[in-house]
Chains A and B, each alone.
Chain A
Amino acid sequence: QKEVEQDPGPLSVPEGAIVSLNCTYSNSAFQYFMWYRQYSRKGPELLMYTYSSGNKEDGRFTAQVDKSSKYISLFIRDSQPSDSATYLCAMSLNNFNKFYFGSGTKLNVKP
C-alpha cells in the first residue's frame, strides 16, 4: 500500500467552479501536510502547508486536514484557467527530512 493516495484525474471544471482535491494517507505519524502546484515542464511550487489537523485559508485556496480520517483536501474557489495544472499533496514527519508525495491530480479549468 502506498503511503499517500491521490486520484490522478483528470478533473475538468468550468471557470468559476469550486474545486475539491483530496488525498488519503496511511501513516498516522505524518505531521505536516502540503499542497504543491506543478505546471507542465516545470518543478512543483508550494501552495500551502498545514500542521496537524484543521483548516488554513489563503486567498482562493483552503487546505483542510482531518487526521482522524487520514484525509486532506484542497479547495479552490472561483477557479481560473490559470489554475490548470497538476496538484500534488505531500506529507512529512516532524523532522522535515523525508517527504511523501501523492501521484498528483491533473486539473483543467475551462474558460
Chain B
Amino acid sequence: EAQVTQNPRYLITVTGKKLTVTCSQNMNHEYMSWYRQDPGLGLRQIYYSMNVEVTDKGDVPEGYKVSRKEKRNFPLILESPSPNQTSLYFCASSRQYSNQPQHFGDGTRLSIL
C-alpha cells in the first residue's frame, strides 16, 4: 500500500528540548515536503526537497531543519522548540516536476509547553 508514514503522531514536550519528526514514503518519490497547519492559516510549507541532498526553504522555515540523505526519508528537526511551533505537521511526497498528487501522511500533533 502506498504510504507516507509520520512518527510520532502525537508529542507533548517542553521548550528547548530537541526533537525529530520522522517521515518515510514507500512510493520512490523524488519530491518531499513538510507543512504545518494552524487554525485560520491553513497549510504553510516549511521545507521541501526535490531529491536526495537537495532541500530548500518554504514559506515558514525559521526554527526548523531538514535533511534528505535517503530518498525515502525526510525528517523534520526542531533544534530548540518554542511554544509558537505548537501545530499540526504534515509530510507529503510526489513525483518530481509532476502534476501528480502529493500524498500526505496523517499528521503529527506537536504541543510545546
Contacts and interface: CB of A to CB of B under 8 A. Distances in A.
A45 interface: yes
A41 B107 contact: yes
Contact count band on A: 20 to 34
A50 to B, nearest CB: 10
Interface string B72-96: 0000000000000000001010101
Contacts of B106: 41-43
A23 to B, nearest CB: 10
- In this complex, the interface size class of chain B, counting residues with CB under 8 Å from chain A, is 20 to 34
Scoring B43, B94, B105 by chain A CB atoms within 10 A of each residue's CB, the highest score goes to B43
A6 B50 contact: no
B10 to A, nearest CB: 11
B97 A103 contact: no
Contacts of A101: 35, 42-44
Given A101-B42, A101-B44, A43 B107 contact: yes
Nearest to B44: A101
B102 interface: yes
A46 B40 contact: no
A95 B107 contact: no
Contact of A49 (B41, B43, B58, B101): B101
B67 interface: no
Interface of A: 4, 6, 8, 32, 34, 41-46, 49, 51, 88, 90, 95-104
Interface of B: 4, 31, 33, 35, 40-45, 48, 50, 56, 58-59, 90, 92, 94, 96-99, 101-102, 104-107
